[in-house]
Amino acid sequence: MSLRVTGGAFSRTYRNTGNGATGKADPATVSTFLLDKYEVTVGRFRQYVNYLNDGGSPPASGSGKHTHLNGGMGLADSARPGSYEPGWDESWNSNIPSGIGAAMSWNRSLKCNSYGTWTDSPGNNEELPLTCLNWVEAYAFCIWDGGFLPTESEWKYAAAGGDEHRMYPWGSTDPGSGNQYAIYDCYYPDQARGSCTGVANVPKVGSTPLGVGRWGQWDLSGSVWEWNLDRHARYVSPCDDCAYLTGPANRVLPGGGFHTPLMPYLLSSNREAVSYDPTNYRGDYGVGVRCARAP
């Protein structure tokens, strides 16, 4: 299910300790878009693996753009004024196993460590958020699923509640240890802070009833880190339906995960330690994705 995020203007950089936003900077304008209510689950991604195993192909060159923007050209590229979103690059196809035996390849890569929620066959994990997903795989899935990766501005706009500049996606209430606002710092399942042990610390998507964002999305903070479209670079301001699409290899990865400490990673305005290699990084602490779509 995808939910409408009503566009507007906000500041990508700000501080909010519960008494309103201060230090606002790096303005951005985001057009209305759809953002999935939940992170991609094991069950949803299994449909994609089955498609590829049955002869389906990786995305077509140039697909996955925000075609509802700029007369079909997509996002403006902050790194190259006057340039626009290129979409899928065919050189990434080698990272997307397809055809006979593809399922075996996916079974190996998606079980990257003890935090991998993927299983070879459908079972008890189908409603868990998919982990151990790299950026290229996340992008390919969202294209196949009829959408695209959200930009950093789109994702942060949703997490901040747009011009409300929220401290957390749900507001300013401290999330505590009860797993009602966010799944983080290994508090799930028994509210005991400590070292995570593996998949047991990952709940089903939609398990935090008090942590829902302004437009209805669940788990924007905690659960799993969520890949964004942008390359990680200094903000370029102003930003009007923009993304940083040329330059450094690392891609933006916000949101925090089930292992992540509270501060500062769960804050809607966080930009600490949020970039990783798009083809090699799968993460020890749970890396997944949430897709966006044209309105």
Residues with pLDDT less than 70, the chain: 272-275
pLDDT confidence of residue 5:
98
Q: 1, 37 in Cβ contact below 8 A?
A: yes
pLDDT confidence of residue 274:
59
Question: Hey, how many other C-beta atoms are within 10 angstroms of the C-beta on 220?
Answer: 31
pLDDT confidence of residue 193:
87
- Can you count the helices (H) and strands (E) in the chain? 4, 12
DSSP state of 282: -
3-class secondary structure, 162? helix
CA distance 171 to 165: 9
Q: Is 3 exposed, middle or buried (0-12, 13-18, 19+ CB in 10 A)?
A: middle
CA distance 139 to 59: 9
CA distance 292 to 272: 23
pLDDT confidence of residue 264:
85
Rg, C-alpha atoms of the chain = 18
Average pLDDT in the chain: 94
* Strands across the sheet containing 292-293: 2-5, 33-36, 292-293
Model confidence pLDDT, tens digit, residues 156-167: 999 999 999 999
Model confidence pLDDT, tens digit, residues 193-203: 878 989 999 99
pLDDT confidence of residue 23:
96
pLDDT confidence of residue 261:
85
* Dihedral of the alpha carbons of 196, 198, 203, 209, in degrees to the nearest 10: 20
Each residue of 168-177: b (16+ CB within 10 Å) or e? bbbbeeebeb
pLDDT confidence of residue 222:
95
Count of positions (residues) in the chain: 295
Element (H, E) at 226: strand 225-226
pLDDT confidence of residue 1:
93
* Dihedral of the alpha carbons of 50, 56, 62, 63, in degrees to the nearest 10: -50
Element (H, E) at 81: none
Element (H, E) at 25: strand 21-30
pLDDT confidence of residue 192:
86
CA distance 159 to 138: 19
Biggest CA pair distance of the chain: 57
pLDDT confidence of residue 282:
80
Q: What is the pTM of this model?
A: 0.96
CA distance 44 to 61: 23
